[in-house]
Amino acid sequence: MAGRTRKIVEISTGKIGKKEKLNRQIQEEKLKLDRAELERGAPEWLSPAAAEEYNRVVFEAKKINLYDNLDLSILAIYADCYARFVEASEYLQKNGNTIVVGEKEFVSPYVTIADKLMTQILKCSTKLGLSITDRLKLIVPTKEEKSVNPFLQFLK
């Protein structure tokens, strides 16, 4: 895909005509699905901390109608990783980044766990559009039709 990624109509600052603006709004509305399953609450298998993060993100995203039912699984994975990352970080703050076995000092396995969870959180947050730049990338560009040359009618 060449060029810049498309922005949603509400935040677009470029010059687009009224017809084009209406067409884009219609395209954006077609991408939206129901949110009922998403808003029922966090899946039962999530820990209380993960469920709290899940519900927080759903509540905040509702303000801009960002997610729908198809986002439930990736949002649950994000919330689970987030809660586990917090646990690992708290452990490291309490116990340090190293462990001592006999006379040798090793890097705590919690460092690796936190690192892998952070990577997963960043991947999920990109897909979910948790930052403004990621949200702008979520709009699926459509192939723009070329306008018909108005002078072709005189060639008939």
User: Mind listing the pLDDT tens digit for each residue in 61-100?
Assistant: 888 777 877 888 999 999 999 999 999 999 999 999 999 8
Q: How far apart are CA 89 and CA 79, in angstroms?
A: 15
Torsion angle in degrees (nearest 10) through CA of 71, 73, 74, 77: 150
Confidence grade of residue 35 (pLDDT, cut at 50, 70, 90): confident
Distances 137 to 6, 8, 24, 80, 117 between C-alpha atoms, Å:
7, 9, 15, 24, 23
Does residue 1 have a pLDDT over 50? no
pTM exceeds 0.75, yes or no: no
Please write the tens of the pLDDT for every residue from 39-48.
888 899 999 9
Does residue 125 have a pLDDT over 80? yes
Residue 15's pLDDT is what? 67
Q: Domain spans of the chain? A: 1-31, 35-139
32-41, 85-94, 110-119, 123-132: the lowest-pLDDT one: 32-41
**CB burial of residue 59 (10 Å; 0-12, 13-18, 19+):** exposed
How far separated are the first and last CA of the chain, in Å rounded? Answer: 36
Average pLDDT, the chain: 81
Q: How far apart are CA 9 and CA 15, in angstroms?
A: 11
Chain-centroid distance of CA 6 in Å reads: 16
